[in-house]
Amino acid sequence: MVETAKGRLILDCESMEEGPRKTLENVLSEGFVSDMPLVLEVMFVSEEEIRALNARERNVDKVTDVLSFPAAELTAGEPVSAGEHPDCVEPAYDGEEEHMYLGSVAVCTARAKEQAQEYGHSEAREIAYLIVHGMLHCLGYDHEREEDRRAMRQKEEELMAKLGLARE
């Protein structure tokens, strides 16, 4: 078994300011254990783009708030081992050591804005939540069964609290 330690997440998101990106990276790195840094691609897309992605990838022709595209089939709550997913290991990233590609998350900014208004919190909180939700899907979490939904929601709430964005 490969030795694992607290994870380290690198967000690949050119359109996110460095301060918020680094904060998200630091807190979300506490959400998993891995033997190598993980890279998560985050894309901010329009309603048209997310609808097209949803139709193409899931055969659901409608707008949604977030879509996740995991690079590997991981088990929720289990350590991430690059040795078990060698096809996801990539060379050095932005001056860092080699890493494992975790997957991609597409966030619809228009839906995030609408949902923030609907739920009565900031757009920044909603976007952070959607990124957390998407990352957890890439880490193997799901919400199809009630038991899985509870585990995923607990992890989301834990990470959002660490970001200082817990539900009020």
Q: Could you tell me the residue range of the domain that residue 110 belongs to? A: 5-162
Please state the domain count of the chain: 1
Least-confidence region, from 14-18, 92-96, 164-168? 92-96
Residues 6+ apart with CB under 8 A from 48: none
* Count of residues making up the chain: 168
pTM assigned to the model: 0.92
Q: 87 in a domain, yes or no?
A: yes
Q: 167 in a domain, yes or no?
A: no
What is the CATH number for 77? Answer: 3.40.390.30
Angle between helices 123-138 and 146-162 (to 10 degrees): 130
Q: 98 in a domain, yes or no?
A: yes
Q: Give the tokens for residue 29.
A: 């790195």
The string of pLDDT tens digits covering residues 34-86 is 999 999 999 999 999 999 999 999 999 999 999 999 999 999 999 999 899 99
Q: Report whether pLDDT(5) > 90.
A: no
Q: 35 in a domain, yes or no?
A: yes
Q: Report whether pLDDT(7) > 90.
A: no
Tell me if 76 sits within 8 A of 142, measured CB to CB.
Answer: yes
Q: 129 in a domain, yes or no?
A: yes
Q: Report whether pLDDT(1) > 50.
A: no
Amino acid sitting at position 153: R
